[in-house]
Amino acid sequence: MTAYIVRRLVLIVPIVIGILFVTFLIKALIPTDAVTALYLGSVSEDKAAEAIAAIRAKYGLDQPWYQQFASYVGNILQGDLGESIRTRRPVAEEIGFRYWNTLILTFSALVVAVVVGVATGIVSAYFKNTWLDVTAMSVGIMGISMPAFFFGLVLIFIFSVQLRWLPVIGSGDFQSLILPAVTLGLIEAAPLSRITRSSMLDVMSREYVRTARAKGMAETYVVFRHALPNALLSILTIIGLQIGNLLGGAFIIEVIFGWHGIGELAVKAIQWRDFTITQAIILVSAGTYVLVNLVVDILYTRADPRIDYG
Amino acid sequence: MKRKNLYLASIVALSVLMSSHVAFSADDTLRFRLGEDPESLYNVETKSLTADAVINQYLLERLVYFDQTGTPKPWLAESWEVNDDQTELVFTLRDGIAFHDGTPFDADAVAAQFNTILDPATASPQLPSMGTLEKVEALDAKTVRFTFSEPYAPFFIALATEGGGINSPTAVAKHGRDYGRNPVGTGPYMLERWIPGTEITLVRNPNYHQQIRDDVANKGAPKPEKIILTVISEEGVAQAALETGELTAATLQADTIEQFVDNPDFKTIIDKTHPNLVFLEFNHRRAPFDDPAFRTAIGHAIDREAAVAAAWGGFASAALSPLSLGIPGFDGDIAQSHGTPFDPEKAKALLADLGWVDSDGDGLLDKDGKTARFVVRSYAGFSHIERTLQVIQSNLADIGIEVELETSDWGAFYPSLLQDDWDMDLMRWTNNDAGILTELFHSPGHRKTLPPSPKIDDILARCDQTMDPSLRAGCIRDAQKALLEEMIIVPILTNWVVTATQSNVEDYTIDYLGYLIPGDLWLSN
């Protein structure tokens, strides 16, 4: 098991370098860089041409992309993320507290998604084809099809503007976490609910469930002790995939709710062409995703003791 | 029993949540919106307008300000003199003014501010606005001399805006590269706290000197104790926060401002003379846009009132002059006599004279086998600009010209104009001085598309070198006329800048250059 974990951790390095390689390729295709973006507001870049060239040289932006890539990877391996070209501050300082905020939002949303998604899935499966099931699944379809930014604005309108229960401006406290976490969580609850329902239905028709019922066991015991653990494996797989969605979804949600995470920064960094920031965010997001999936894989062995990674 | 407890607990939790209505500040704290987190609050190393507003409204002061007639007036400077060849400006500074950190304000501080910008090693984005400035010397503690290689009239605007705000040289030296996070000026407010990406808290300067400017109502200490600037990039969020009272005031776009106009819970401050211009530019390197007559025809085809109504919700003024009506020197009579008001019949007649007719009956004009199909570029992300493009597209379709609209974000759009694969672009600039005409339209032009034009180039150069305000106004009038005669661009409109405040906000005053005067503000209750 330990050997497996170590192997997976080592594999993260080539994955992340591969992702960085792709971002550098994309960057090479974009005509402007952060320095030009800083000077674009002023009409006569010509007058500042020397100054611009000096800054560009300082950040190595005058080199071909593959050289920039090589020195970037070299610095990363030494733990140096570089500095933001826009603010001239260390990248680690710029994204550190934001990464923490994004983790808080993502995992709060995950809790909402799992609680709501699994609960409605079980209820739907148990009361299959009743009005309860139909309602839950219809609401789920709405959740899947509704764009996150629209749903977010609807929630702001109801709970902040009309009812005045929650603040509009995200100050980072618990009150301002509620709306973004619920928005993101409910959207991800929908697919989770459908998967839970179908795998529960599958399990509930098995013979051991019928046997359990025949023995006269209480229904809650049958559902939670016999059926759910067996349905858990596919639910876990979906949750692992959804963390990726949540991290991605957080990018939009953070902008709408003014939640100061890496997603909000990423959107702006792209507009500013501040690639050291963009790359660092891609790096930590990809790293988080890979790590979370490793944790999910380890949880498989708990959910199903037959799984063994040797 | 256990389950009952859980039930009770959740009821309690829910009622706590529901009763905890968001607390709104009744105290002496104002909350304003920042569209983005400034990259730095050191005006030497940033050109961002958001940063400029924070720096120059609250923290720093300048040597001169502009009064409501657009004339420079003394501020941190007591007076100034210009030598006969207009290449030297000598300022006498005021006594008894100190920076927030106690450093006295003197000629050395002024010289340091401008020499840092001039130093190529600083790579300051403010350098271009210094024009022909060569060096700045402190002659004594109260006197400072600016030397120019040749006269440069737009310099007074540079002194009164952006890089013109004077920083404490002691603080600049002390903080080094972190100074942009620790700005120190002589202004009415001091930086208390900056949570990156979140908010900037400003606190009243307890040692503030008497306010010097004549256009300011409150000469004493500013009234609001604290000002919190919150970063809100989403327009919808700013709108909601204003509605709930979480923001004291916010500048909003035309789409979102409508619900606050004529609403008794809010006041709106409309700046109808904001110095911006939305205009259609041409790739003069490509036929038929190299022909002034063709460009004039395009000018007559544009229904500016339709653009104002459909694209800007009425919050704009139609423009016929290449100089924004908000910039000193703007001449409305020349705009009327030489401009191209909406007249599609005249546009069609002009095009027919040039040989552009629909000879094959496909509904589009053609000439020598070329059909009138062109590319119009602009920048994405601003619904007003995108809707203006649609108005232009439909106006041109009405006279038989088909245009394809291409938008991309500013950082991709603006450099793309240096290539030769486009015909027209929709542009918007904001600038406080007629020097913008030189920046944009002196050949080869800001996007290098303009052929040499000795007449226009001479007039523009003369305007920049004329220090005398009334002589300069005459020159700027000539420039407007010359640019319209050649129809270098087609002016479309000047949009208004609208700010909505809570109804208890009094004396929300914007000065001539668009800066808020925070010391005058107060809350009535």
In this structure, are residues B193 and B229 in contact, taking their beta carbons and an 8 Å threshold? no
C-alpha to C-alpha distances, B450 to B227, B439, B457, nearest whole angstrom: 46, 12, 11
CB contact under 8 A, A87 and B232: no
Is the predicted pLDDT of residue A40 greater than 70, yes or no? no
* Averaged pLDDT, A71-92: 85
SS3 B162: helix
SS3 B478: helix
CB contact under 8 A, A167 and B246: yes
Any idea what DSSP says for residue B23? Answer: P
In this structure, are residues B315 and B498 in contact, taking their beta carbons and an 8 Å threshold? yes
Of B18, B45, B439, nearest to A44 by CB-CB distance is: B439
Q: Which of B18, B19, B39, B255 to mutate to test the interface with A (most CBs of A within 10 A)?
A: B39
Tokens of residue A190, six digits: 């929908």
In this structure, are residues B492 and B319 in contact, taking their beta carbons and an 8 Å threshold? yes
B173, containing H or E segment: helix B169-175
d(CA B396, CA B15): 60
Question: Residue A45's pLDDT is what?
Answer: 55
Count CB atoms within 10 A of the CB of residue A102.
29
SS3 B405: strand
Q: Which of A179, A158, A15, A30 is nearest to A105 (CA)?
A: A179
Q: Which of B42, B59, B218, B243 is nearest to B126 (CA)?
A: B42
d(CA B233, CA B250): 12
Count CB atoms within 10 A of the CB of residue B301.
25
B441, containing H or E segment: helix B435-441
C-alpha to C-alpha distances, B165 to B187, B205, B507, nearest whole angstrom: 9, 17, 24
Tokens of residue A107, six digits: 């995992």
In this structure, are residues B422 and B327 in contact, taking their beta carbons and an 8 Å threshold? no
d(CA A164, CA B21): 6
Alpha carbon of A51: minimum distance to chain B alpha carbons (Å): 4
d(CA B168, CA B179): 10
Any idea what DSSP says for residue A158? Answer: I
Q: Which of A26, A43, A95 to mutate to test the interface with B (most CBs of B within 10 A)?
A: A43
Q: Which residues of A touch B234 (CB under 8 A)?
A: 255-256, 258
SS3 B31: strand
Q: What is the DSSP string of B33-94?
A: EESS--S-S-TTS---HHHHHHIIIII---SEEE-TTS-EEESSEEEEEE-TTS-EEEEEEP
Count CB atoms within 10 A of the CB of residue B400.
20
Tokens of residue A212, six digits: 């359990």
Residue owning tokens 């560009």: A56
Tokens of residue A233, six digits: 């494996």
Any idea what DSSP says for residue B357? Answer: B
Question: Residue B282's pLDDT is what?
Answer: 96
In this structure, are residues A301 and A295 in contact, taking their beta carbons and an 8 Å threshold? no
Cis before B196? omega within 30: no
Q: Which of A168, A171, A271 to mutate to test the interface with B (most CBs of B within 10 A)?
A: A168
Q: What b/e string do you get for A260-292 counting C-beta neighbours within 10 Å, with b at 16 or more?
A: bbbbbbbbbbbebbbbbbbbbbbbbbbebbbeb
With 0-12 / 13-18 / 19 or more C-beta atoms within 10 angstroms meaning exposed / middle / buried, residue A234 is middle
Cis before A31? omega within 30: no
B349, containing H or E segment: helix B344-353
Interface size A-B, in CB pairs within 8 Å, comes to 131
Any idea what DSSP says for residue A273? Answer: T
d(CA A205, CA A43): 72
Question: Residue A46's pLDDT is what?
Answer: 61
d(CA A292, CA A282): 15
Of A94, A172, A271, nearest to B409 by CB-CB distance is: A271
Of A87, A166, A260, nearest to B40 by CB-CB distance is: A87
SS3 B179: helix
B383, containing H or E segment: helix B383-398
CB contact under 8 A, A51 and B124: yes
C-alpha to C-alpha distances, A53 to A43, A46, A83, B70, B338, nearest whole angstrom: 17, 11, 18, 36, 42
Four-CA torsion A59, A63, A64, A69, nearest 10 degrees: -40
Is the predicted pLDDT of residue A48 greater than 70, yes or no? no
Q: Name the residue with higher pLDDT: B437 or A168.
A: B437
Q: Which of A256, A35, A100 is nearest to B39 (CA)?
A: A35
Cα dihedral across residues B206, B212, B215, B220: positive or negative: positive
d(CA A186, CA A191): 10
Q: What are phi and psi of B260, to 5 degrees?
A: -95, -15
Question: Residue B12's pLDDT is what?
Answer: 44
In this structure, are residues B180 and B131 in contact, taking their beta carbons and an 8 Å threshold? no
| Bridge partner list, B251 | B499
Rounded to an integer, what is the distance from CA B416 to the centroid of its chain?
Answer: 23
SS3 B187: coil
What band does A41 get if pLDDT is binned at 50, 70 and 90? Answer: low
Cα dihedral across residues B278, B284, B285, B287: positive or negative: positive
Q: What are phi and psi of B403, to 5 degrees?
A: -120, 145
Of B39, B128, B198, nearest to A87 by CB-CB distance is: B39
Count CB atoms within 10 A of the CB of residue B213.
16
C-alpha to C-alpha distances, A210 to A198, A204, A218, B77, nearest whole angstrom: 18, 8, 12, 92
Q: What are phi and psi of B151, to 5 degrees?
A: -55, 140
Question: Residue A256's pLDDT is what?
Answer: 84
Predicted confidence pLDDT, tens digits, chain B (525 residues): 344 444 444 444 444 444 333 434 445 889 999 988 898 999 998 888 899 999 999 999 999 999 988 889 999 999 999 999 999 999 999 999 999 999 999 999 999 999 999 988 887 888 888 989 999 999 999 999 999 999 999 999 999 999 999 999 999 999 998 899 999 999 999 999 998 888 999 999 998 988 889 888 888 888 889 999 998 888 888 999 999 999 999 999 988 898 899 899 999 999 999 999 999 999 999 989 999 999 999 999 999 999 999 999 999 999 999 999 989 889 999 999 999 999 999 999 999 999 999 998 899 999 998 999 999 999 998 899 999 999 999 999 999 999 999 999 887 888 889 889 999 999 999 888 899 999 899 989 888 899 999 999 999 999 999 988 888 999 999 999 999 999 999 999 999 999 999 999 999 999 989 899 998 898 887
- Here the ipTM equals 0.77
CB contact under 8 A, B198 and A42: no
Q: Which of B293, B399, B285 is nearest to B348 (CA)?
A: B399
Question: Residue B24's pLDDT is what?
Answer: 41
In this structure, are residues B64 and B156 in contact, taking their beta carbons and an 8 Å threshold? yes
The sheet carrying B402-408 orders its strands as B316-318, B490-495, B276-282, B424-430, B373-379, B402-408
Question: Residue B16's pLDDT is what?
Answer: 42
Question: Residue B25's pLDDT is what?
Answer: 44
Half-sphere exposure (CA, 13 Å, Cβ side) for B32? 24
CB contact under 8 A, B246 and A260: no
CB contact under 8 A, B21 and A165: yes
Any idea what DSSP says for residue A217? Answer: -
Rg of chain B taking only CA atoms, in angstroms: 26
Contacts of B170-177 with CB under 8 Å at 24 or more apart are B170/B99, B170/B101, B170/B103, B171/B99, B171/B101, B171/B103, B172/B42, B172/B112, B172/B116, B177/A88
Four-CA torsion B306, B310, B312, B313, nearest 10 degrees: 110
In this structure, are residues B415 and A32 in contact, taking their beta carbons and an 8 Å threshold? yes
SS3 B269: strand
Alpha carbon of A97: minimum distance to chain B alpha carbons (Å): 9
Question: Residue B2's pLDDT is what?
Answer: 42
pLDDT in tens, A225-280: 888 888 888 888 888 888 888 888 888 888 888 888 898 888 888 888 888 898 89
Q: Which of B198, B252, B279 to mutate to test the interface with A (most CBs of A within 10 A)?
A: B198
Q: Which of A21, A138, A106, A85 is nearest to A275 (CA)?
A: A85
